[in-house]
Structure 1
């Protein structure tokens, strides 16, 4: 069996699935706050993620070692191509299924679950469980809680600073046609005619109906212009951080098997992540942008700054945090702070996170058993 070809194909599959599920999360606040359109946000995410993926080949070597299975599984097994193919395919199928139903889950979590499931089948309980907790599970569990806490703390501080400098939000007047139920009459010819008119109405709105803007200036520049600029930069930073954090995790298993060159592997993973995002990001994009919480641009900026800080810090120190968990955690915090969180959606997302690891473990274990029989 051409294991090298199969390993390469599996790696590109998980990269594509990762892009479809994860690429838009960095720019979700731009779209969700009405700052830009879906298509423009998607292209920004793609470009920034590609840049982060290229940078990962040079600065994220610790993550590559971590996801090569060091300390978690025996060294001989870490280089076994059937084992690696099963792990990658188990994670890929799990992420692809979640993307199909619009659930934002973690590729990091899926890869971890797949390694555990396949490892248990291959070597029983001869796994590095202390390494599993310290290097994998603890960062995955703690990071969303940190994101929630930082977002809850940062947004009120931001509002205090804005009020202190005289920069305030303004309400908006929305002018347009509004649906109004009318009576209907039937003519002798059988045609239906409305009775009454639907005039233009002026509506005072401070929520999702129209975009709220900031008044005031900062060093002679409109406060809203500055905020929008920071919003775009912070969204780009999150997408860059995602590429920096996720690419080495996918490349690592191929590098461990000696089948993939690090630089070329990172480049190809970046390409397939971009394709996955461009072609299949919409369902997850709608969930993370509009269903978790309503938000204004300033709230989106805070969520992005919290996410990019935590993910870049984790990448530097080789901690396998999930960009999904961190970005969604920041949005949970913003929703709790502004009182607009959709807690039913939040509950469903957290439930999806809980079952990600066992589902990936079962799928990967099943694939490994099948590969052992046909090899």
Structure 2
């Protein structure tokens, strides 16, 4: 009897130990991510020191590489939600697979399409003559990297998907203003860029709403939904393939091929036709397998959604790696030149080790800190299924493509989150219509406050995200200006 009691006591103690281990795991896991991130930043500094050797500027370049790695980590952590959030929220991809796919696609995009950088926006915003001294350029770029990374880090911790493009532009403006005054910034150009940041989320929302309404009309409202889906889903895949083909053609580095809009359009048509030809038999075979299953329409849209998410991650890596390594590449360029031939804020060919820091930093940011915002964008703003998530991803892609064609420095964050809002508000519109027509009557006695809480778009997240968008530029600028003044004071 006593032995049985002892064994029972031992089982209880082991259960307590397992619970303690589980709690310790929850505490230690975030610290492991921070530790890996710090190790990566240290290795980035070592890579800079190894690449530059015993040059007098090695210490400064090493410090700049550490800041650049920190910025790349935060861009990967925050911006990945735009690409993979809808796919995870719609349960087309599990979180682990989405993180790995995003990391690989971001790295591939950055390495293949991000080699020609870097200060395209800065050349239009900043007067090079006003910021020409090498030490001023270096300190301004260091302050810009640190300020942008700190704000994106804070926003990720708060659960707010912000624009890294906005953050780095605001930081560069703040440091430049502190260094050379307000006249060094072309405020008219900045006003045009800010206007594009306001318009593009609305365009993304409108396109997502329009695409969802089109799918509703062509497929969901048809008597034989599966037959309609079998006919139209390959068409949607063809259009998506054409759009991405055109986007990649426009984004190719000039050293590889400089495409005119007409050539890009032709390549888009060809890639769209090929996508349709490949997708048609696959969708027909899949539709036959799902003929007797519930939710067949949603299942047919999983493949297009996954493809769109991966391609958007590739495009994001190619496009936004400049945000991560642009200031670092500028610093390396300045350190490698004599005082007489410094040309600040010009597009430069990026050294391989700099590009590698940006690509790997974004990938590690995705893997270490990406899940928080993926959950927010994918499921906490509004509920997404594969059809709605496909509308979000495709609308975001189309908006970015058109903006790139027009030469507008858009924010992929604004566009993607705007598309999520558009789908959510369109669902609210359909629900309101159903209530007015009596198809979905209001429950008797349901309080108005309860109905407001059950809206299909969470207003608290809308307000948090909009507030973060509004303060990104002024806050990044203010922090960057303060850091620049501090650096000047330290260096004398």
Normalised TM-score (structure 1): 0.80
Alpha-carbon shift at residue 150 of structure 1 (Å): 0.9
Alpha-carbon shift at residue 243 of structure 1 (Å): 1.2
Quick check: 1:306 aligned with 2:422?
Answer: no
The 3 A distance-change label for structure 1 pair 13 and 316 is farther
Q: 1:161 aligns with which of 208, 212, 218?
A: 218
Alpha-carbon shift at residue 65 of structure 1 (Å): 3.6
Quick check: 1:227 aligned with 2:343?
Answer: no
Structural mapping, 1:145-160, within 5 Å: 145-160=202-217
CA contact (8 A) 2:114 2:317 kept: no
| Structure 1 Cα separation of the partners of residues 320 and 407 of structure 2 | 11
Alpha-carbon shift at residue 316 of structure 1 (Å): 5.4
Partner of 1:221: helix, strand, or coil?
A: helix
Report the counterpart of residue 214 of structure 1 in structure 2: none
Q: 1:72 aligns with which of 125, 149, 158?
A: 125
The 3 A distance-change label for structure 1 pair 218 and 261 is closer
Quick check: 1:40 aligned with 2:97?
Answer: yes
Report the counterpart of residue 149 of structure 2 in structure 1: 92
Q: 1:11 aligns with which of 68, 71, 79?
A: 68
Please identify runs of 4+ aligned residues in structure 1 that moved more than 4 A: 315-318
Once the two structures are superposed, what CA deviation does each residue of 1:307-326 show, in whole Å capped at 9, x if it has no partner?
12222444455432111111
Report the counterpart of residue 352 of structure 1 in structure 2: 468
Report the counterpart of residue 133 of structure 1 in structure 2: 191
Partner of 1:361: helix, strand, or coil?
A: helix
Report the counterpart of residue 373 of structure 1 in structure 2: 489
Once the two structures are superposed, what CA deviation does each residue of 1:57-85 show, in whole Å capped at 9, x if it has no partner?
35x65xx3423x11322315276100110
| Structure 1 Cα separation of the partners of residues 406 and 120 of structure 2 | 11
| Structure 1 Cα separation of the partners of residues 403 and 317 of structure 2 | 13
| Structure 1 Cα separation of the partners of residues 421 and 112 of structure 2 | 29
Structure with greater proportional helix content:
2
Q: 2:179 aligns with which of 91, 109, 122?
A: 122
Alpha-carbon shift at residue 147 of structure 1 (Å): 0.6
CA contact (8 A) 1:24 1:45 kept: no
The 3 A distance-change label for structure 1 pair 316 and 263 is farther
CA contact (8 A) 1:17 1:276 kept: yes
CA contact (8 A) 2:90 2:384 kept: yes
Tell me how large the CA RMSD over aligned residues is: 2.3
| Structure 1 Cα separation of the partners of residues 467 and 72 of structure 2 | 24
Once the two structures are superposed, what CA deviation does each residue of 1:177-235 show, in whole Å capped at 9, x if it has no partner?
xxxxxxxxxxxxxxxxxxxxxxxxxxxxxxxxxxxxxxxx9534325553111010011
Q: 1:280 aligns with which of 345, 350, 369?
A: 369
Structure with greater proportional strand content:
1
The 3 A distance-change label for structure 1 pair 263 and 143 is farther
| Structure 1 Cα separation of the partners of residues 175 and 322 of structure 2 | 20
Question: Unaligned stretches of 5+ in structure 1?
Answer: 170-216
| Structure 2 Cα separation of the partners of residues 21 and 325 of structure 1 | 12
Partner of 1:103: helix, strand, or coil?
A: coil
Q: 2:479 aligns with which of 347, 363, 366?
A: 363
Aligned length: 323
The 3 A distance-change label for structure 1 pair 249 and 159 is same
Report the counterpart of residue 239 of structure 2 in structure 1: none
Report the counterpart of residue 174 of structure 1 in structure 2: none
The 3 A distance-change label for structure 1 pair 252 and 313 is farther
Structural mapping, 1:171-190, within 5 Å: none
Quick check: 1:271 aligned with 2:360?
Answer: yes
CA contact (8 A) 2:114 2:319 kept: no
CA contact (8 A) 1:3 1:82 kept: no
CA contact (8 A) 1:65 1:252 kept: yes
Structural mapping, 1:207-356, within 5 Å: 218-222=283-287, 223-257=297-331, 258=333, 262=350, 264=352, 265-315=354-404, 318-339=407-428, 340-356=456-472
| Structure 2 Cα separation of the partners of residues 105 and 336 of structure 1 | 21
Question: Unaligned stretches of 5+ in structure 2?
Answer: 1-56, 228-281, 288-296, 336-347, 429-455
Task: Point out which structure has higher relative CO (alpha carbons under 8 A, 6+ apart).
Answer: 1
Report the counterpart of residue 208 of structure 1 in structure 2: none
| Structure 1 Cα separation of the partners of residues 486 and 426 of structure 2 | 49
